[in-house]
A and B are shown apart, each in its own frame.
Chain A
Amino acid sequence: MAISKEEVLYIDNYLKFLGIKYIDIRLEILDHLASEFESTEEQINLGDFLRTKRSFVKRYENQWQKAKHWAHQRALIKRILGYFYEPKQWFIPVCIVLFIWLHFKLFPDLYIAISFFATLIIPQCLHFYIYYKPEGIHKNIQSAKYILSIMALPSIFMYLMGIMAPILKENPEMFYIYWFFALVFNIAGLQEVIALKRKIVKTYSKLISN
């Protein structure tokens, strides 16, 4: 027999009481617990049943976080590799090379330096905007929480600037290679952020709208 709306609310409140704040996690645990409770043949009080599931509920959130973090880094590397071995993606590295070559040929050093720092910083800022904008989706959706971790690899180029600066000054060709890979990582990161955000919104639109 299907459980009542009141019982569904009771389970949801119990999950909140246990500290499960993200609605996408509560959705899955709630459905699992409700399905198991419905199929229990013996007469059991819902509260007693939920108490037997406490350790599962507590473990659930933790293990999901671990699975997500490394998946994002793998997806980013896969996207970057795709730029080089998938012909339909070649236009991205070609555009980057063209962009850098035009700077090298046409612009003075000062303009190149400004452009270089802008291309390192702007993608990171854009990414933070997507994540933190007021109508953002991250607050209640666990799946969205780890969107931030996607840009961990691209940000390395920004953080390494202090160490790399003397080497890049002495070797102009190294500077352009560094710039090329920084752009590749940043563009791939942003593409991954946007694609994942779209997917999350599509999957959890029912939850977000409630």
Chain B
Amino acid sequence: MGNSKLYKGSLNTIILKLLDEEGKMYGYEITQKVKELSKGELNITEGALYPALHKLEAEGLLDVEVAKVDNRLRKYYKPTEQGEKETINRLAELEDFIRSMQQLVNPKWSIQ
């Protein structure tokens, strides 16, 4: 994506939404899913993803699970009960923000 600063503030919300939909995911899977959903427009680097995941885990919004996959162990992230509630709040906040931005940059356009 051209300007990564624009989505940086929404990264935690994007992660929470994906995990809420998928149940549980591992780090690399999240980066690939975001890439796929955004048709290659958004590319979450590992340097941005893991600090965000650890922050969400530290806040008690994500839980972790370790499972054996192929020849190695894998760490899965899944939302906690608190994380599920927070996802709804953060998505509502993000929608409000997008609406406000739309009104600022293009008043005639609406997301509804």
Taking Cβ atoms with an 8 Å cutoff, the residues of A that contact B are 2-5, 8, 24, 27-28, 30-32, 34-36, 39, 53, 55-56, 59-60, 63-64, 67-68, 70-71, 74-75, 203-207
Contact between A206 and B66 (Cβ–Cβ < 8 Å)? yes
**Which one of B16-24, B71-79, B85-93, B103-111 is at the interface?**
B71-79
B10 CB within 8 Å of chain A: no
* Residues 25 to 84 of chain B near chain A (Cβ within 8 Å): 26-29, 32, 46-47, 50-51, 54-55, 57-60, 64-66, 68-75
Number of A-B contacts (CB under 8 A): 72
| Contact of A31 with B51 at beta-carbon distance under 8 Å, contacts A67-B58, A204-B66, A207-B66 already known | no
CA distance A3 to B70 in the complex (A): 8
Partner of B26, one of A4, A24, A35, A74: A35
CA distance A159 to B57 in the complex (A): 31
Which chain B residues lie closer than 8 Å to A59 at the CB level? 47
Contact between B71 and A3 (Cβ–Cβ < 8 Å)? yes
Partner of A71, one of B47, B59, B66, B72: B59
Which chain A residues lie closer than 8 Å to B27 at the CB level? 28, 31-32
Which chain A residues lie closer than 8 Å to B69 at the CB level? 31
Known contacts A4-B71, A63-B50, then 13 further A-B pairs from the complex at CB < 8 Å, ordered by chain A residue: A5-B71, A27-B66, A27-B72, A27-B75, A31-B26, A32-B27, A32-B28, A32-B46, A53-B46, A67-B57, A71-B58, A203-B64, A206-B73
Interface of A is mostly: helix
| Contact of A39 with B26 at beta-carbon distance under 8 Å, contacts A67-B54, A67-B58, A207-B66 already known | no
A-B contact pairs, 26 of them (CB 8 A): A2-B71, A27-B66, A27-B75, A31-B28, A31-B69, A31-B74, A31-B75, A32-B26, A32-B27, A32-B28, A32-B50, A35-B29, A39-B28, A56-B47, A63-B50, A63-B54, A64-B50, A64-B54, A67-B57, A67-B58, A75-B60, A204-B66, A206-B66, A206-B73, A207-B66, A207-B73
Instruction: Please give me the residue from chain B that is nearest to A72 by CB atom.
Output: B58
CA distance A27 to B73 in the complex (A): 6
Partner of A34, one of B51, B59, B66, B72: B72
Which chain B residues lie closer than 8 Å to A4 at the CB level? 71
Which chain B residues lie closer than 8 Å to A207 at the CB level? 66, 73
Which chain A residues lie closer than 8 Å to B55 at the CB level? 67
Partner of B68, one of A36, A53, A206: A206
Contact between B72 and A67 (Cβ–Cβ < 8 Å)? no
Instruction: Please give me the residue from chain A that is nearest to B46 by CB atom.
Output: A56
A8 vs chain B, min Cβ distance (A):
5
Sorted nearest first, the 8 A-B pairs with minimum C-beta distance are A71-B58, A35-B28, A67-B54, A2-B70, A67-B58, A5-B71, A63-B51, A8-B71
Which chain A residues lie closer than 8 Å to B71 at the CB level? 2-5, 8
Instruction: Please give me the residue from chain B that is nearest to A70 by CB atom.
Output: B58
Instruction: Please give me the residue from chain A that is nearest to B70 by CB atom.
Output: A2
Which chain A residues lie closer than 8 Å to B65 at the CB level? 203
B17 vs chain A, min Cβ distance (A):
21
